Copies of this chain bind each other. A is one copy, B any other.
Amino acid sequence: MANVWSSGVTFHENELQLSGMPAHKLARDFGTPTFFIDEVDFRERALAWGEALNESFGDRAGHVYYAGKAFVCVEVAKWIAECGIGLDVCTGGELAVAIAANFPASKIQVHGNNKSVAEITKAIEIGVGTIVVDSLVEISRVAEAARKHGKVQAILLRLTPGIEAHTHESIATAHEDVKFGFSIASGAAWTAVLAARSHPEIELRGFHGHIGSQILSMDAFAVSADRLIELMGKFRDEFGAQLPELDLGGGYGISYLPEDEPLLPQDVLPYLANAVKTSCATYGLDIPRISIEPGRAIVGPAMFTLYEVGTTKNVVLESGANRNYISIDGGMSDNIRPALYGAEYITVLANRTSSAPLIASRVVGKHCETGDIIIRDIQLPADIAPGDLLAVPATGAYGRSMASNYNHVPRPPVVALLHGKARVILRRETEADLLGLDV
């Protein structure tokens, strides 16, 4: 059974504790709802991906790029830099965070299916390492911006290898009906290769493939790698030289529920190394430098959200059974994933233990919407009452990063815990902030 909590979470003295700080104290000092991030756990995971890449690929190891879209703020970007790994950004806003953190530009990789001229220009201006190009018009934009700055910009081409990977299944087809990338099967990828090579301001360094999110089995990664490497073989055959880089993307699943078995770096990277080695042998290629892009796999398990219960309500169902509705002081504004993807979470009573019987419960938010549900079905102690604290684990990825002000609810802060010390790294919004855009 996998652990859904970060390494610094313990349960003792009748409370959940993070880095030795008990839940009631975290709530008292920082209010609720709040995201608490375990800095030790975050750094350990970031380092583990870097080390596993190096161990598995040796001198063929490229970069681990942390996928900032999962969650990034200035402080977290600094941690990433200190862990020696790279940063994947996909908008001008994420690039602005990297710049504010003085993130080493050469270790920034820029993604996105619709990079504006301004975003591309800024990226080239500050000297980002790689731009992952996603459409033909972007090739011209990159070439033009590089020319203006007197630079040659390294790029990868994002390709769609024809793998639809979902959490519990993988489908390999020839085509993918998605906005990202150039299709290998349709010939679009080869067209892009030729277009990229036509610009002296562009250095085509290799290919990129990303097969999906929250993937819990490894086989699809090998199929994807093989198709990308096959095209690298075609490139070598055509032009007599080998492309030096291959980025296999991210999507490594984590444990949201105790029964989820996560993809861990010590398992994923040896598997990928073997798959890449096999495919390179098949196509007679040297192993290129391999990069990967974990985001959720680093930040997801490192955070939990602490909520306070506001109201409870017993609802008699049609069957005659009962359901306890537990309303917490956040909801779909700080975690849209259950409503958006049907994502499942667990929760625990964090401020005390209870010997009350477990009853069928539903944890809901405070938004004016029936679908504002954080946990649809869970057994929780019958005596949970207003003022109790609930902790929801594994909310680090796509929680705060997708947060809204729906119903004018201020977004929660992110508080980092390190060696028993807590500090705010992203502050709570205030009513003044909510009114700050009104003219």
For the complex, what is the distance from the CA of A437 to the CA of B434, rounded to whole Å?
12
Nearest neighbor of A308 in chain B, beta-carbon distance: B116
**Residue A34 at the chain B interface, CB threshold 8 Å:** no
Q: Which chain A residues (67-120) contact chain B, with CB distance < 8 Å? A: 67, 69, 72-75, 90-94, 96-97, 100, 111-116
Nearest neighbor of A174 in chain B, beta-carbon distance: B318
**Residue A340 at the chain B interface, CB threshold 8 Å:** yes
Residues A177 and B323 in contact, CB atoms below 8 Å apart = yes
Partner of A438, one of B175, B328, B425: B425
For the complex, what is the distance from the CA of A417 to the CA of B434, rounded to whole Å?
23
Residues B409 and A93 in contact, CB atoms below 8 Å apart = yes
Given contacts A92-B431, A336-B336, A431-B92, contact A75 B438 (CB under 8 A): yes
**Contact-size category for A:** 35 or more
For the complex, what is the distance from the CA of A407 to the CA of B364, rounded to whole Å?
26
Residues A113 and B311 in contact, CB atoms below 8 Å apart = yes
For the complex, what is the distance from the CA of A67 to the CA of B312, rounded to whole Å?
25
Residues A90 and B368 in contact, CB atoms below 8 Å apart = yes
Given contacts A177-B317, A366-B91, contact A73 B438 (CB under 8 A): yes
Stretch from A3-11, A20-28, A396-404 that touches the partner: A396-404
Q: Which chain A residues (151-202) contact chain B, with CB distance < 8 Å? A: 173-180, 183, 185-186, 188
Residues B183 and A112 in contact, CB atoms below 8 Å apart = no
Residues A313 and B135 in contact, CB atoms below 8 Å apart = yes
Interface string of A413-433 (1 = CB under 8 A from B): 100000000011111010101
Residue picked from A74, A90, A174, most chain B C-beta under 10 Å: A90
**Residue A39 at the chain B interface, CB threshold 8 Å:** no
For the complex, what is the distance from the CA of A174 to the CA of B315, rounded to whole Å?
12
**Residue A51 at the chain B interface, CB threshold 8 Å:** no
For the complex, what is the distance from the CA of A401 to the CA of B402, rounded to whole Å?
14
Interface string of A49-69 (1 = CB under 8 A from B): 000000000000000000101
Residues B401 and A406 in contact, CB atoms below 8 Å apart = yes
**Residue A370 at the chain B interface, CB threshold 8 Å:** yes
**Residue A325 at the chain B interface, CB threshold 8 Å:** yes
* Copies of this chain, count: 2
Residues B438 and A327 in contact, CB atoms below 8 Å apart = no
**Residue A386 at the chain B interface, CB threshold 8 Å:** yes
Residues A328 and B114 in contact, CB atoms below 8 Å apart = yes
Residues B402 and A366 in contact, CB atoms below 8 Å apart = no
A135 partner residues in chain B, CB cutoff 8 A: 311-313, 327
For the complex, what is the distance from the CA of A91 to the CA of B325, rounded to whole Å?
19
Residue picked from A111, A134, A315, most chain B C-beta under 10 Å: A315
For the complex, what is the distance from the CA of A437 to the CA of B74, rounded to whole Å?
10
Residues A75 and B439 in contact, CB atoms below 8 Å apart = yes
Partner of A177, one of B69, B315, B425, B429: B315
A327 partner residues in chain B, CB cutoff 8 A: 113-114, 135, 179
Nearest neighbor of A67 in chain B, beta-carbon distance: B368
Nearest neighbor of A436 in chain B, beta-carbon distance: B433
A424 partner residues in chain B, CB cutoff 8 A: 439
Residues A114 and B311 in contact, CB atoms below 8 Å apart = yes
A203 → chain B closest CB, angstroms: 21
Partner of A318, one of B173, B316, B323: B173
Interface residues of A (CB under 8 A from B): 67, 69, 72-75, 90-94, 96-97, 100, 111-116, 134-138, 173-180, 183, 185-186, 188, 212, 310-318, 323, 325, 327-329, 336, 339-340, 362, 364-370, 372-373, 386, 401-411, 413, 423-427, 429, 431, 433-439
- Other A-B pairs, 20, CB within 8 Å; known A75-B438, A188-B316: A67-B368, A69-B367, A69-B368, A69-B369, A69-B407, A73-B437, A94-B407, A94-B408, A96-B431, A96-B434, A97-B434, A135-B327, A173-B318, A176-B315, A177-B315, A179-B373, A185-B316, A404-B404, A413-B437, A425-B438
